[in-house]
Structure 1
Amino acid sequence: MTDDPEAYGDLAARHVSLRRVLQLFAPYRARIAGVVTLMVLSSAIGLAGPFLLRAIIDVALPQQDLALLVWLAGGMIAAALASAGIGALQIVLSTRIGQAILHDLRVRLYAHLQTLSLRFFTGTRTGEVQSRIAGDIAGLQSLMTETANELGRSLSAVVMTAVAIVLLDWRLALFVLLIVPVTVLISARVARLREALTYQQQARAADMSAAVEQTLSAPGIILARTMGRGSFLTQHFARISRDLAQLEVRSHTAGEWQWSLIGFSLATLPALTLLAGGILMQTGNPASIGTLVAMIALQEQLLWPFEQLLEVGRDTRKTRALFARIFEYLDKPVEITERVDAITIPRAEMRGEVALDHVRFAYSEGHGPAVQDVSLTIPAGSHVAIVGPTGSGKTTLGYLLARLYDVDGGAISFDGVDLRDLSFETLSQMLGVVSQEPYLLNASVAENLRFARPEASMDQLIEAAKVAQIHDHIAALPEGYETLVGEGGSRFSGGEKQRLALARTILRDPPILLLDEATSALDTRTERAMSQALDGLSKGRTTITIAHRLSTIREADLIVVMQRGRVVETGSHASLAAKGGVYAGLLAGA
């Protein structure tokens, strides 16, 4: 953690400009204009009080005019009441606008993250993503509601009061207005420092979120307990928490002496005004007692909104660091895009033919290709197995088939159409994927299955579960298909989770089925039963199996053997076993 917070401020400045922030408010221009009108009206009405006060002191009281006194006092009360009522309405409206803008920003960020390729998520901590969506946007709550409201109200009050002070007595007004530039400069300095510290705070808060996400999950607890590393993790968390606490202290106390100087300067204004009034009495054009009292009343009326305005400026600079972190994610380029003229294939016309033409892909520059020069034709309705040692590129090929990454060279096509030309909806209907690490939502079994097909009936859920050999287990549960699966499917075993994931994919009924180690967590008996079910399911459907366990793919129409990103052998089980090559070596080591 650097001791030079201003370096973080430079990063924030690169991502945030005032125009970019104001663009968030653009859809609400009409409503914002209404709120601003209410602010100005409230401030204008509030200014009537000091002028009525001057009239009471200089006219009504000296002349002992009770009727005039009643009217003037009543006017002060009416002005205060109207100002308070309008102010309350303005707060309600501005709060609604602020929450609407935050809602738009949250949804925009979430939607953008949904469009990023798998490359972004494999290189980013889950806790970091959650911190940006939840923590950083939550940190803008005060800006979008209280701070924005105070900014408008204080700004209008300061401007209107400054005008009134000048109209009251321009000579006395000089003592007020000359002190403003000094206080603004001091406030700007404090704001820059706190902005930089806020960026560090949020970065460290993201570290904490990631630590909690990784170590306080069920797998994290199991790892810590079995490795005896609980105390180490606690110490690591304590270091992060200590850094965050120190940053919180620095953020709230940075520039406090300068800020106290501002408070002192503003507090001396009434004394300076009275001193100036005394000096003017020695001239031929003195200020009246009523003018002095009204001037001090206006100063009091000015000091609070002016202090609020300075604080808003300081807090707004702090929140720019939050905007910087949010915009940093919004600026992430979308690698996987749908073309404007994307091709849509009706479900009834999908055949399931797959072709790879000299496909090449590398995860990053400077690293060797994970897949290189792979060409393969998979006829519709056939069963193709892809095997190879660890790191041979099998799973990467699966990612490319699902278009979780785009190929760097060559092309992959379904039914003769390049994946990059297909609409996202068509691609999701054509290909169903069951991975070696199935993901289940923390919801009921039925909700997890219907994630693939929301309109599916209960009979359809049961039919898919039976094919995946999981129905009997679900039916035996006390709540059946309404049973909650737990976080990450924690209430089910690895094999049960894989069968639930398979049932979910079967429910979608894709013409192409990609099984990436989908039976790796099944016992031999269940694997045999599900293999038989899949044989029936695979009729008329293209099945691509990525497997380590070679016993599951002996009956495949074609076995593709990969090594170091290349296809090195193809053929049936019998021919490859007799060949004595890489596949035979895998069989010998199985």
Structure 2
Amino acid sequence: MDKLTWKNDRWIKPYLAKYKWVLLLAIFLGIVMFFCGGALMFYAGYTIDKAATRPENIFMIYVPIVLMRAVGIGRPLFRYLERLVSHNWVLRVTSDLRRRLYDIVEKNSSAVGSNYQTGSLLSLLTEDIGHLQNLYLRTIFPAIVGYLVGFFAVILLGLFSWPLAGIIFILLLIELFLVPLFSLLKQAAIRSKEKAEKASLYTEYTDQVLGAGDWQISGRQKAFHDQTQKTVTTLGKKQKKSGEFDWARDFILEFVFGLMAIALLYFTNKSLTYNQEAANYVGAVVLALFPLSDAFIPVAQGAEEWHTYSDSVKRLNAMHPKKEDLPTQQTLNPADFKELQVDNVRFTYPGEKVPIIKNFSLKLAKGQKAALIGPSGAGKSTILQLVLGDIAPQAGEVKLNDINVRCLQDERPKLFSVLNQEPFLFNTSIYENLKMANKNATADDMMDALEKVQLADFVKSLPDKLDTQVAEAGARFSGGQKQRLALARILLQDAPIVLLDEPTVGLDPLTEQKLLNLVFKVLKDKTVIWITHHLQGMKYIDQVLFFKDGVVEMSGNPHELFETNEHFHNLYLMDQGSL
């Protein structure tokens, strides 16, 4: 294990300590499970030996038979309990990890100058957390149980024979430390080369697919095939080499374990054959050793996988929540909201010289609606970040009721709702997706919100109704249905200010118009800021602002502009296809 990774770790060690009692219970159950496995073989061996000597009375083997039954039942029972507790522990830990990552995502995904891109964050939320879960279950937990079982085995054997305990200790040192360490180092080198070959193959395939037309035109189809053949062959050799090493490692582990059995057989024969009764324990003691292989061998197998998880651990440890230097927080009851003010705001991204927002102002009373229109990169989304308080302007202020929005970040979920191009729906039921907006919402409240967004009949037609699974990112719904479900979530949240970030992008014109009619109907009492690329739906808007290069070039009431501004008049007719 990378010493620096472990020394500076903030994603593994803290959770080992946080849920230590559950972890200790799982480890205890794991040790008891192996004890029951060894005891089962011990009593079975003793019963066979004792029965072979023809005892005078059948009751002389009745006690070991009862004990054999007891530990025979105990082994699967404790195995089940150990799995139950250990997986419960891991799920608690990964739940905390995901919550912590979501907190980092929330603070960094929209933060200016953030080092974390959306793609890397999504990767962290899926692959890396899965790797940590496997790290706990397949590497850390088996290693702890294996070491403790080995420790107790040596202590118990030491009570019987210290020379035997010394030999078993040396063999366990090979089984639990030397082989796992060598396996870790050797496989790390093999997998590193294998990873490089896979990356090279991916690049080659991508280049070839994108340039397939050129390959065909040039008549070099064979070269198209042969170019990657060498990489594929090399990768295959690396994978074969890795498999051969795994086989050799497991053989060595089994061989070392066999030496333990031989040593135990030798010492028990030497010490327990002074009479028949003592000799009955020889087979029992040796057989009791064999179930312990399930505790020892997985240690090396788990250690080998550390290199698979180390990249995830390093990436996670490199992540830090963006420290927010917020002013003293204040409170604002959503029912008391009266006005949103953006006063002469100027904003420049770190490292840039030209401001993306230059002296922008906007004033919206409760219930009023504004549309921001302009080309990509004009600064429209930056305005939304400023309004939300994600970023602070270098000049000017964003205020709600004369309170700086940066002083209301603790109240943000109560004051703002956002509907964007691709609303995220979690891979759970409709009910749970709506519950996230308002934990106090009842099923009737949800159906009322769905009725308002014209989705109630569809939900009622589903076999499981509100309990229907939406699939990852709402895959089972159409684009319009996902937006309406997200709109129902906004209604349940009931925040006074709603930000619309091009929610109709990607929809066909008919669906777009229906959705816009619905959005502004259900949000008629809300204050709305709407980012859009065209003039569809301007009849619902109180103010329209045309953005270019961070400056508002034209603004006003769209109905008045249509009558008095020839440029706007022509733009509107062109947008409607009437010019």
Normalising by structure 2, we get a TM-score of: 0.67
Aligned-partner Cα distance in 1 for 2:160–2:485: 79
Cα contact 2:348–2:357 (8 A) shared by 1: yes
Over the matched positions of the two proteins, sequence identity in percent amounts to 18
Q: 1:565 to 1:41 in 2, by over 3 A?
A: same
Cα contact 2:42–2:288 (8 A) shared by 1: no
Q: 1:130 to 1:302 in 2, by over 3 A?
A: same
Pick from 361, 375, 387: which aligns with 2:373? Answer: 387
Aligned partner letter, 1:105: V
Q: 1:269 to 1:69 in 2, by over 3 A?
A: farther
Listed as ranges, the gaps of 5+ residues in structure 1 are 1-5, 209-222, 224-234, 466-470
Cα contact 1:386–1:545 (8 A) shared by 2: yes
The reply to whether residue 187 of structure 1 matches residue 180 of structure 2 is: yes
Aligned-partner Cα distance in 2 for 1:18–1:436: 36
Aligned partner letter, 2:528: T
Give the total of aligned pairs: 544
Cα contact 1:392–1:565 (8 A) shared by 2: yes
Indicate the residue corresponding to 1:129 in structure 2: 125
Indicate the residue corresponding to 1:94 in structure 2: 82
SS at match of 1:162: helix
Q: 1:74 to 1:143 in 2, by over 3 A?
A: farther
The reply to whether residue 434 of structure 1 matches residue 419 of structure 2 is: yes
1:53-452, aligned counterparts within 5 Å? 71=60, 73=61, 76-115=64-103, 116-117=105-106, 118-119=109-110, 120=116, 122-124=118-120, 126=122, 129-134=125-130, 137=133, 141-142=137-138, 148=142, 152=145, 155=147, 157-171=149-163, 174-183=166-175, 184-194=177-187, 252-254=243-245, 256-268=247-259, 288=274, 298=285, 301-302=288-289, 305=292, 308-316=295-303, 318=305, 321-322=308-309, 325=312, 328-329=315-316, 332-335=319-322, 342-355=329-342, 358-360=345-347, 362=349, 366=351, 371-381=356-366, 382-403=368-389, 405-407=390-392, 409=394, 411-424=397-410, 426-438=411-423, 452=437
Q: 1:303 to 1:193 in 2, by over 3 A?
A: farther
Aligned partner letter, 1:97: V
1:506-525, aligned counterparts within 5 Å? 506=491, 508-518=493-503
Aligned-partner Cα distance in 1 for 2:452–2:72: 64
Indicate the residue corresponding to 2:213 in structure 1: none
Cα contact 2:34–2:75 (8 A) shared by 1: no
CA deviation digits over 1:12-71, x for unaligned, max 9? Answer: 886489744632641416734763784697589679869989x989xx97xx9x569974
Indicate the residue corresponding to 1:479 in structure 2: 461
Q: How much has 1:98 moved relative to structure 2? A: 0.8
Aligned-partner Cα distance in 2 for 1:171–1:499: 75
Aligned-partner Cα distance in 1 for 2:118–2:11: 30
Aligned-partner Cα distance in 2 for 1:441–1:181: 48
Q: 1:243 to 1:578 in 2, by over 3 A?
A: farther
Q: 1:500 to 1:239 in 2, by over 3 A?
A: farther
Indicate the residue corresponding to 1:220 in structure 2: none
Q: How much has 1:104 moved relative to structure 2? A: 0.9
Q: 1:107 to 1:446 in 2, by over 3 A?
A: closer
Aligned-partner Cα distance in 2 for 1:390–1:451: 31
Indicate the residue corresponding to 1:211 in structure 2: none
Indicate the residue corresponding to 1:226 in structure 2: none
Q: 1:107 to 1:292 in 2, by over 3 A?
A: same
Indicate the residue corresponding to 1:23 in structure 2: 17
Aligned-partner Cα distance in 1 for 2:512–2:59: 94
Q: 1:171 to 1:400 in 2, by over 3 A?
A: same
Cα contact 1:464–1:504 (8 A) shared by 2: no
Q: 1:200 to 1:297 in 2, by over 3 A?
A: farther
Aligned-partner Cα distance in 1 for 2:80–2:445: 45
Q: How much has 1:392 moved relative to structure 2? A: 0.3
Q: How much has 1:108 moved relative to structure 2? A: 1.8
Cα contact 1:207–1:240 (8 A) shared by 2: yes
Q: How much has 1:394 moved relative to structure 2? A: 0.8
Aligned-partner Cα distance in 2 for 1:537–1:389: 28
Aligned-partner Cα distance in 2 for 1:276–1:45: 19
Cα contact 2:384–2:499 (8 A) shared by 1: yes
SS at match of 1:560: strand
Normalising by structure 1, we get a TM-score of: 0.66
Aligned partner letter, 2:534: R
Aligned partner letter, 2:461: E
Q: Which moved more, 1:486-495 or 1:183-192?
A: 486-495
Aligned-partner Cα distance in 1 for 2:194–2:42: 45
SS at match of 2:361: strand
Aligned partner letter, 2:16: L
Cα contact 2:8–2:317 (8 A) shared by 1: no
Aligned-partner Cα distance in 1 for 2:282–2:266: 13
Q: 1:111 to 1:182 in 2, by over 3 A?
A: closer
Aligned-partner Cα distance in 2 for 1:361–1:475: 48
Q: 1:13 to 1:251 in 2, by over 3 A?
A: farther
Cα contact 1:269–1:299 (8 A) shared by 2: no
Q: How much has 1:309 moved relative to structure 2? A: 1.7
SS at match of 2:500: strand
CA deviation digits over 1:144-172, x for unaligned, max 9? Answer: 8xx64x953x5555444434444444455
Indicate the residue corresponding to 1:212 in structure 2: none
Aligned-partner Cα distance in 1 for 2:302–2:309: 11
Aligned-partner Cα distance in 2 for 1:348–1:559: 26
Indicate the residue corresponding to 2:547 in structure 1: 562
Aligned-partner Cα distance in 2 for 1:74–1:205: 61
Q: How much has 1:261 moved relative to structure 2? A: 3.7
Indicate the residue corresponding to 1:219 in structure 2: none
Q: How much has 1:391 moved relative to structure 2? A: 1.3
